Amino acid sequence: MIRKLIAGGALLLLSCCQSVRVFAQAQMPLQTNASANKTGAHIVEHPRKCGIDQLRKAMVARNPEWAQKFKDQKASLQANADYYKQYKAQVARGERKTNTISPIPIIFHIIVDSAQFLNLGGTQGIIQRCDSQIAVLNADYNHQNADSTMIPAAWADSMYGNAGISFGLALVDPNGNCTPGYEILIIPGTSLTDAGFSNVNYAFPEAKTAGTGLAAWDVTKYYNVWCINFTGAANSLLGLTVPLSFTGGFGGLPVDQEGVCILYNTLGSVGPTNVPPPGTGSWYLNPDNYAWGRTLSHETGHMFEIWHPWGDDGPYGGPPYSAGEGYCPWSGPNACSTTDTAIGSDDGLLDTPPESQANYGNPTYGVSVPGGTITDCCKFWYAQDTLNTQPIGIACISFMDYVDDDAMHLLTPDQAAAVASMVLVSTPGGTGATGSGTIGENYNLTQNPGLLTPPCTPTGIAPSPTEINSSLSIYPNPTTGEVHISVNSAVETLNEIVVLNLLGQQVMKVSGQGKDYYTLDLSGVSKGLYFVQCNFASGSVTRKIVLQ
Ligand SMILES: [Zn+2]
């Protein structure tokens, strides 16, 4: 199977002024000290926000029975976590055998326009991003993240959980063919805000549908991750997850929509060294705050059914909180909590202290609050948080809070165990809540080692010109000078590029150097119509371009 790269086909109009997206203004009335001392030329930031509570609210609006389901699901989490801890203890004592566990195969469905594709660093950048994203997930879910040294002392020993779940790029597609673990759909778009998806209330069905997007691969075998641009009503989101418990039933989502959507430029990690990926792209659209790949670490927690530490409920009234930042996303007898207090409620897990609402930015630790000094805790931003009496503060350093990527360092043991209970033990329909969030619901994801080992080698198989043609992108068109040529390296690489005028006379000829990406500079050439002929070992493809 070849890597999939689909050109939009239509004219891709790009202007010089559309390379920086300005996010919507932050809705939070108070900003943290987030990033105030960060440096870098490309900070475009807004508070982390994921759409899962808005989606819950929309589902409850479609069918009020979902309120009870969500409440039950949250209420089941501690039992799930305890079940898993007991299971592990039994295994350790030799009382129970473990099954073979394989890494979870991830397929990244990348849906962008040509400008966004360039901002990802082209094909090479996407490869680097996918690889680094897998590395981040494996570190974060296996107690191996290097930044664990930043965990406050009071949390380091007892509160640093290990989910023990591994991930790998899917290397075999549902048809048994080779795949690099990602597929790319380049869609026509005239600006960065045009190419995107906005339907939060249905979790972006257009992105998950062939034709307008890329359809899910078998959700029982693959962890589907869509990397897309959020626009319109979704403009301020970084991610939105549909866990299995959200599917089926009246008001639920189609089961083949299980998976995660993340903002495309949060894919992958630059790590602490802030090294940009290879290729001509850069990280500049990936805000520093979210450049460590933790958006997917956060959403992966939701994928396996855990909630934000503040439980998506919290205080009523007070500052103008918006949905997703403290409000219970719905009301009535089945509201998230009927015993809510000023300090907010909870996520259903015992070791994440009550937290009134999300934390943002880079919270400081060890602050003084009324009633005494709380050491090694997150700084509390609102008056009601200062009522918190937890001796070690709140779980703001969890991947499940809203802090910056470099301020989140762990899952708590209960968060980790609840997640593990979904994928590492085979007890579907176990002690979890009826109808949602049951133990073992995603167990099959860890049972397909064959999907991580390619059964074929693409080399030596001459691709047809059609395959080359469909994998080749030449853009922008029209252009004012620069022309980017990208071909899927699994199909072919560039031998030579020749530019011809209307008379067939050679205007330029360059070596493709065996690469899959090349940028031509035609700024010194007269305006007009030209042909770009790309020569490969197995054939050539010619495209017409307009130089303005
Ligand atoms: Zn979230």
- Does residue 373 surpass a pLDDT of 70? no
Q: How far is ligand 1, taken at its centre, from the CA of residue 116, in Å?
A: 24
Residue 467 lies in a domain: no
Q: How far is ligand 1, taken at its centre, from the CA of residue 324, in Å?
A: 9
Q: Where does a domain end: 388, 418, 452?
A: 452
Q: Of 56-60, 273-277, 387-391, 469-473, which has the strongest mean pLDDT?
A: 56-60
Q: Could you tell me which residue, 108 or 21, shows the higher pLDDT?
A: 108
pLDDT-derived band at 333, boundaries 50, 70, 90:
low
Q: Mean pLDDT over residues 159-166, rounded?
A: 95
Which pLDDT value is given to residue 300?
98
- Residue 498's CATH number: 2.60.40.3080
Q: Could you tell me which residue, 206 or 192, shows the higher pLDDT?
A: 206
Contacts 24+ apart (CB under 8 A), 151-158: 151/397, 151/409, 151/410, 152/365, 152/366, 152/375, 152/376, 152/377, 152/392, 152/393, 152/397, 153/376, 154/375, 154/376, 154/377, 154/391, 154/392, 154/393, 155/376, 155/392, 155/397, 155/410, 158/413
Q: Could you tell me which residue, 541 or 388, shows the higher pLDDT?
A: 541
**Out of 86-90, 130-134, 206-210, 371-375, least confident range:** 371-375
- Does residue 546 surpass a pLDDT of 50? yes
Distance CA 23, CA 541 (A): 39
- Does residue 474 surpass a pLDDT of 60? yes
Q: Mean pLDDT over residues 246-260, rounded?
A: 93
Which pLDDT value is given to residue 313?
63
Q: How far is ligand 1, taken at its centre, from the CA of residue 296, in Å?
A: 10
Q: How far is ligand 1, taken at its centre, from the CA of residue 243, in Å?
A: 12
Per-residue tokens: 526: 């007269």
pLDDT-derived band at 429, boundaries 50, 70, 90:
low
Q: How far is ligand 1, taken at its centre, from the CA of residue 77, in Å?
A: 16
Report the SS3 class of residue 36. coil
Residue 95 lies in a domain: yes
Q: How far is ligand 1, taken at its centre, from the CA of residue 301, in Å?
A: 8
Q: How does DSSP assign 151-162, residue by residue?
A: S-HHHHTTS---
Q: How far is ligand 1, taken at its centre, from the CA of residue 419, in Å?
A: 14
Are 62 and 122 within one domain?
Answer: yes
Residue 458 lies in a domain: no
Domain containing 377 equals 5-452
Q: Where are the beta strands (DSSP E) in 126-203?
A: 167-169, 182-186
Q: How far is ligand 1, taken at its centre, from the CA of residue 453, in Å?
A: 32
Q: How far is ligand 1, taken at its centre, from the CA of residue 372, in Å?
A: 31
Q: How far is ligand 1, taken at its centre, from the CA of residue 29, in Å?
A: 20
Q: How far is ligand 1, taken at its centre, from the CA of residue 472, in Å?
A: 36
Are 170 and 84 within one domain?
Answer: yes
pLDDT-derived band at 16, boundaries 50, 70, 90:
very low
Q: How far is ligand 1, taken at its centre, from the CA of residue 49, in Å?
A: 7
As separate numbers, helices (DSSP H) first and strands (DSSP E) second, the chain gives: 8, 18
Contact 512, 494 (CB under 8 A): yes
Per-residue tokens: 49: 């926000």
For residue 317, the number of C-alpha atoms closer than 13 Å in the C-beta half-sphere is 5
Contact 469, 491 (CB under 8 A): no
Per-residue tokens: 239: 């991610």
Per-residue tokens: 127: 């490869």
pLDDT-derived band at 428, boundaries 50, 70, 90:
low
Are 508 and 376 within one domain?
Answer: no
Q: How far is ligand 1, taken at its centre, from the CA of residue 288, in Å?
A: 19
Residue 460 lies in a domain: no
Q: Could you tell me which residue, 82 or 114, shows the higher pLDDT?
A: 82
**Out of 330-334, 355-359, 472-476, 514-518, least confident range:** 330-334
Q: How far is ligand 1, taken at its centre, from the CA of residue 298, in Å?
A: 6
- Does residue 32 surpass a pLDDT of 50? no
Are 543 and 400 within one domain?
Answer: no
Are 288 and 391 within one domain?
Answer: yes
Which pLDDT value is given to residue 356?
65
Are 89 and 166 within one domain?
Answer: yes
Q: How far is ligand 1, taken at its centre, from the CA of residue 308, in Å?
A: 6
CA distances from 18 to 119, 201, 370 (A): 11, 28, 48
- Does residue 364 surpass a pLDDT of 80? no
Q: How far is ligand 1, taken at its centre, from the CA of residue 268, in Å?
A: 18
- Does residue 418 surpass a pLDDT of 80? yes
Which residue matches tokens 């805790």? 377
Measured in whole angstroms, how far is the alpha carbon of residue 185 from the centre of its chain? 17
Are 443 and 520 within one domain?
Answer: no
Q: Could you tell me which residue, 27 or 284, shows the higher pLDDT?
A: 284
Q: Could you tell me which residue, 357 or 403, shows the higher pLDDT?
A: 403
pLDDT in tens, 287-323: 567 888 999 999 999 999 999 887 776 443 333 344 3
Q: Where does a domain end: 419, 452, 485?
A: 452
pLDDT in tens, 274-296: 444 433 333 334 556 788 899 99
Are 276 and 350 within one domain?
Answer: yes
- Residue 25's CATH number: 3.40.390.10
Q: Where does a domain end: 393, 424, 452?
A: 452
Residue 526 lies in a domain: yes
Q: How far is ligand 1, taken at its centre, from the CA of residue 13, in Å?
A: 35
Which pLDDT value is given to residue 136?
93
Contact 438, 506 (CB under 8 A): no
What mean pLDDT is reported for the chain? Answer: 75
Counted domains in the chain? 2
Residue 202 lies in a domain: yes
Are 476 and 336 within one domain?
Answer: no
Contact 269, 135 (CB under 8 A): yes
Which pLDDT value is given to residue 332?
59
Contact 361, 343 (CB under 8 A): no
Q: How far is ligand 1, taken at its centre, from the CA of residue 299, in Å?
A: 6
Residue 293 lies in a domain: yes
Per-residue tokens: 178: 């080779």
Which pLDDT value is given to residue 296?
97
Q: Could you tell me which residue, 99 or 300, shows the higher pLDDT?
A: 300
Are 446 and 343 within one domain?
Answer: yes
Q: How far is ligand 1, taken at its centre, from the CA of residue 395, in Å?
A: 14
Are 386 and 534 within one domain?
Answer: no
Per-residue tokens: 269: 């990690």
Per-residue tokens: 475: 């853009």
The alpha-carbon radius of gyration of the chain (Å, integer) is 24
Are 248 and 280 within one domain?
Answer: yes
pLDDT in tens, 67-97: 888 888 888 899 999 999 999 999 999 998 8
**Out of 173-187, 301-315, 447-461, least confident range:** 447-461
Which pLDDT value is given to residue 245?
93
Query: 312: closest CA among 86, 320, 206, 321?
Result: 321
Q: How far is ligand 1, taken at its centre, from the CA of residue 52, in Å?
A: 6
- Does residue 377 surpass a pLDDT of 50? no
Residue 512 lies in a domain: yes
Q: How does DSSP assign 503-535, residue by residue?
A: T--EEEEEE-TT-SEEEEE-TTSPSEEEEEEEE
- Does residue 531 surpass a pLDDT of 70? yes
Which pLDDT value is given to residue 42?
27
